[in-house]
Structure 1
């Protein structure tokens, strides 16, 4: 399928560039999606961030080269993107458990991280409920944002909401929301990234509401342009299956906009939904 071909083309591109500079914008171009969305796709499917995968592959090749050649450690370090022998030694020891100089001793154990390959697992035993929403107006949100590491997002985001509840932010958002609904995107919103083209290791998670009056001084404003959305009930389940099951077979591409987690007021069914920006292929 086109989606699988593009994802594996990205892995081929990375493999060819492990001893050179890797252009993250080129990765996104090969994948035919934004840097932000590719980062989410990659970490969701593999369980690690893109940068961590690249780091592991580089250190795997560096270990092979240390064992098979007499090249200086600093030369190998620079070949795989490290500016000094010290930074290379720290990364190498963190991954392999030994110093680069010890790598050449017989009997030393190392860790090899092989090149990944994307494959489509055909399940079909559990349907994915969704609907398409086309919002032909600008969405104005106010709230607060916090940086989140992509690799720890599923652990960090619940903690952010817990803190927001303790500090009163959640109640403040509740008090400002659920008034004069203009569309079904109403409630407490968690926006995954204020912009699409951000670093793969981290994104800003925005906690806010749709609001049209003047924003309080301590809050930020986020504007999302008119767009089309695929909407899924049950946020946790939707995140798990979105990239590996729905996107490859849907006939849609992810748009260059952030995804939105929507938490509805008491008594609403479903309790929460994931809004995913899309465009037709």
Structure 2
């Protein structure tokens, strides 16, 4: 996966002025657009689309400062149909418009070309199991909430606390298949995992396909397939968020699996009364790749 991401960076660099065909690039690299976007954003700390925009404006800034061409010619060369669209993108990256930068020589905010490398961070084994599950259904109470990468998501917390206690008891009684118990489910996540983008959060349980779903509950159908299940004990939610990040930085680059579309599920196995610590299981839908030992490439500082 690391070598595929570095190849992606090279392909982006060669096609900066073109409209980015991520699906086509993913096929060239032997993976899926979904997995490529998720791994890029997790490891780079920014969406692929944002990286491309920053690189375009970094290269375009040199043309602007050089002053040999008019701004419309520079805009068209870098994939923009008008000076207005180019100016908006330029200002968003550099904090000043191209005309101002041409006169003053700055300010400029350069985006270096990324290079992914592996670091020796995998000295602590990840407690993981890979299981095959038939199709099942997730039922509960769903809400659209913004994605927040660090700390407790107040929108999710508000959604959960708004449910009466008897509803939690009712949901737990419906649970009849793995993962068991009350679950925290995220679905329809932006493949770039952009912070602030909306996702579907469901507070509910897993039931087998033939279990009737009460009319007042939301449902997510989950197709059959394999799952990677990561055990995460420690301070909550920090330990869980660390484990989630480590799946991208350590586990996927080192194993012959990739993410497939589907919900991510968190099961709380045990917790302190005040929820300061918890033992969780993170369930991620996966599928095999054609990865071979030695494909990991260099490991990444970014």
Normalised by the size of structure 2, how large is the TM-score?
A: 0.78
The Cα of 1:266 is off from its aligned counterpart by: 5.5
Aligned to 2:80: 82
Equivalent pairs, count: 272
Structure 1 distance, partners of 2:112, 2:281, is 36
SS at match of 1:271: strand
Task: For 1:1-281, list aligned pairs within 5 A.
Answer: 3-135=1-133, 137-142=134-139, 143-146=141-144, 148=146, 153-155=148-150, 158-168=153-163, 172=167, 175-193=170-188, 201=194, 202=197, 204-209=199-204, 210-211=206-207, 212-217=211-216, 219-234=217-232, 235-264=240-269, 271-281=279-289
The Cα of 1:23 is off from its aligned counterpart by: 0.7
- Which structure features the higher share of helix residues? 1
The Cα of 1:6 is off from its aligned counterpart by: 0.9
The Cα of 1:265 is off from its aligned counterpart by: 6.6
Verify the 8 A CA contact 2:90 2:96 in the aligned structure 1.
Answer: yes
SS at match of 2:149: helix
The Cα of 1:106 is off from its aligned counterpart by: 4.8
Aligned to 2:300: none
Consecutive unaligned residues in structure 1, runs of 5 or more: none
Please, which moves more after superposition, 163-172 or 71-80? Answer: 163-172
Calculate the aligned-residue CA RMSD, in Å: 3.0
Verify the 8 A CA contact 2:269 2:280 in the aligned structure 1.
Answer: yes
Structure 2 distance, partners of 1:115, 1:74, is 25
Structure 2 distance, partners of 1:10, 1:112, is 20
Verify the 8 A CA contact 2:145 2:155 in the aligned structure 1.
Answer: no
Structure 1 distance, partners of 2:135, 2:20, is 35
Consecutive unaligned residues in structure 2, runs of 5 or more: 233-239, 290-302
The Cα of 1:117 is off from its aligned counterpart by: 0.7
Verify the 8 A CA contact 1:233 1:270 in the aligned structure 2.
Answer: no
Verify the 8 A CA contact 2:156 2:201 in the aligned structure 1.
Answer: no
